[in-house]
C-alpha cells in the first residue's frame, strides 16, 4: 500500500482480530458544515445540531478507545466539517497521548488554511482525506453546491501534500459523474495523493435524490478500478465490497466480459495515463459495515457505519468496545449470516455486500446487496 497511511492500515489489518476490535472508528464530530453537498449522508447544516457530545463527553469517548487493546483503532475525525468542532485540538491531543492514531476528513472551506494544516500536523495528524467528486468544475461544484470549489479542492490537496500529510482523495461515484472517473484518477496521480477511495452511492440523507449505477455498471466500474490501482496509488472502495472479488479474479487472471461502461472508462484511462505498468495496489481486506468499521455520530449514537443508520447504543451510556464485540447485529455481520444471494455466495467473508445498501433497499441490514451483479456458484 502507498505511503505511511497504507503502511499504517496494512499493519493493523494484518494482525487485528476483527471480532474483538475494529480497524477504523469514524467519529462524526459535528454536523456543522459550510457546504451543502447533494449526496451528504449527514444532512449537514451551517451550525452544530442539538445534542452533540459535549467537550467532556468527547474526551471520555476518545479515552474509551484504549478498551479495544493493542493496537488501538484508527480514529477518523469527520463531520459535517471536523474543523467546525470546538475543542478539536484537545480531542486530537488526547487521542495521540493515548497512542490512538488520528486521521482527518475536513471540508474544503476557508477554515482549511495553511496555518491550520501546520497546527494539525504538529498535533500528530498525518493522514487527511479530501473529497473530489468530479474532474471538472461543473460536475464537482454541481455536487458540492459551491462555486469555485473545484479549484480550491485541487489546491487543498496540493497544500496538504506540501505540509507533509498523506492525502486520500474520496470520490462518490454516481450516474452524474461516472464517466469522469478516469480524469479523476489522473488528478489523483498528478497531485501526488497516496490513496483513492471510491464510494458507491447509497441512497441515504441527501443522497436519496441521486442516481445509483445498476449492478452491471458497478461491475464495470470495479474492473476499471482494478486497472486504476496499477498506476501507483492505493484504490479502496466504500459500500462496494464486490471490488475485492473482482481484484481476486483479476489477480488470478480470470477472463471477464467487458461491458460498455468498462470499455469507455478503460480506454479513457489508458489515453490519459498510458498503459499501466505497476503491480496492483487494490485494497482487499475483508472489512465491511460493522466488521472492522464502526461509527459514532455527533450525538454519540453507535451504528455499524455512517451509511447504515441502525442505532446499536450510545457512547454516553455504553462502552464502544462492548457494543462492537457483543451486539447481536454486529456478530451476525461478522459471521456473514446473510440472506439471499449474499448468504449463498462463496465470497461472503471477503465481500459480504454493502450492509448499508441492503438496509436502504429492504430495511434488513442482513439482506442481499441489490447492487451486485454476481450470481453465486451455490445458487
Question: 93 near 55, Cβ under 8 Å?
Answer: no
Any domain includes 378: no
Closest by CA position to 365, among listed 323, 296, 311, 319: 311
The pLDDT, as a whole number, for residue 92 is: 98
Q: How many residues belong to the chain?
A: 379
For the chain (379 residues), the mean pLDDT of every run of 10, in chain order, is: 39 72 97 73 66 97 96 95 96 97 96 98 98 96 90 98 98 95 98 97 64 94 98 97 97 94 98 94 92 97 96 98 98 97 96 96 97 85
Domain that holds residue 57: 3-273
Any domain includes 162: yes
Any domain includes 203: yes
Q: Phi-psi region for residue 145, left (φ > 0), alpha (ψ -120 to 50) or beta?
A: left
> From the CA atom positions of the chain, what is the Rg in Å?
19
Return the SS3 of 36.
Answer: coil
Q: b/e per residue, 218-257, with b = 16+ CB within 10 A?
A: bbbbbbbbbbbbbbbbbbbbbbbbbbbbbbebbeeeeeee
Write the CATH number for 114: 3.20.20.70
The pLDDT, as a whole number, for residue 345 is: 96
Any domain includes 124: yes
Give 314-350 pLDDT, tens digit per residue.
999 999 999 999 999 999 999 999 999 999 999 999 9
- Euclidean distance between CA atoms 90 and 96, whole angstroms: 10
Any domain includes 373: no
Element (H, E) at 151: helix 149-162
The domain tally of the chain equals 1
Any domain includes 177: yes
Amino acid at each position: 500500500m502507498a505511503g505511511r497511511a497504507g503502511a499504517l492500515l496494512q499493519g493493523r489489518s494484518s494482525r487485528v482480530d476483527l471480532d474483538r476490535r475494529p480497524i477504523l472508528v469514524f467519529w462524526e464530530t459535528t454536523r456543522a458544515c459550510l457546504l451543502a453537498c447533494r449526496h451528504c449522508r449527514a444532512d449537514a447544516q451551517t451550525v452544530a445540531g442539538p445534542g452533540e457530545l459535549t467537550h467532556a463527553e468527547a474526551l471520555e469517548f476518545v479515552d474509551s478507545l484504549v478498551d479495544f487493546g493493542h493496537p488501538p483503532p484508527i480514529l477518523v475525525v469527520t463531520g459535517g466539517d471536523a474543523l467546525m468542532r470546538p475543542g478539536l485540538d484537545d480531542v486530537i491531543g488526547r487521542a495521540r497521548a493515548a497512542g490512538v492514531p488520528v486521521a482527518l476528513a475536513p471540508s474544503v472551506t476557508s477554515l482549511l488554511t495553511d496555518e491550520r494544516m501546520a497546527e494539525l500536523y504538529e498535533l500528530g495528524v498525518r493522514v487527511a482525506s479530501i473529497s473530489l467528486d468530479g474532474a471538472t468544475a461543473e460536475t464537482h461544484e454541481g455536487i458540492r453546491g459551491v462555486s469555485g470549489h473545484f479549484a480550491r479542492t485541487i489546491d487543498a490537496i496540493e497544500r496538504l501534500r506540501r505540509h507533509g500529510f498523506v492525502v486520500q482523495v474520496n470520490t462518490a461515484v454516481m450516474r452524474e459523474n461516472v464517466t469522469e472517473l478516469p480524469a479523476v484518477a489522473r488528478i489523483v496521480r498528478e497531485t501526488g495523493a497516496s490513496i483513492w477511495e471510491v464510494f458507491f452511492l447509497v441512497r441515504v440523507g441527501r443522497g436519496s435524490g441521486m442516481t445509483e449505477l445498476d449492478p452491471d455498471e458497478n461491475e464495470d466500474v470495479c474492473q476499471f478500478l482494478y486497472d486504476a490501482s496499477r498506476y501507483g496509488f492505493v484504490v479502496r472502495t466504500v459500500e462496494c465490497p464486490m471490488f475485492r472479488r473482482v481484484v481476486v479474479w483479476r489477480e488470478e487472471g480470470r477472463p471477464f466480459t467487458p461491458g460498455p461502461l468498462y470499455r469507455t472508462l478503460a480506454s479513457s484511462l489508458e489515453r490519459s495515463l498510458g498503459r499501466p505498468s505497476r503491480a496492483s495496489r487494490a485494497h482487499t481486506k475483508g472489512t465491511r459495515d460493522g466488521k472492522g468499521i464502526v461509527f459514532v455520530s455527533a450525538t454519540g449514537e453507535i451504528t455499524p457505519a455512517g451509511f447504515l443508520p441502525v442505532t446499536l447504543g450510545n457512547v454516553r451510556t455504553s462502552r464502544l468496545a462492548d457494543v462492537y464485540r457483543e451486539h447481536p447485529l454486529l456478530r451476525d455481520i461478522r459471521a456473514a449470516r446473510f440472506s439471499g444471494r449474499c448468504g449463498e455466495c462463496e465470497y461472503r467473508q471477503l465481500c459480504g455486500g454493502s450492509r448499508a445498501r441492503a438496509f436502504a433497499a429492504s430495511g434488513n441490514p442482513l439482506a442481499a446487496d441489490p447492487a451486485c451483479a454476481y450470481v453465486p456458484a451455490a445458487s
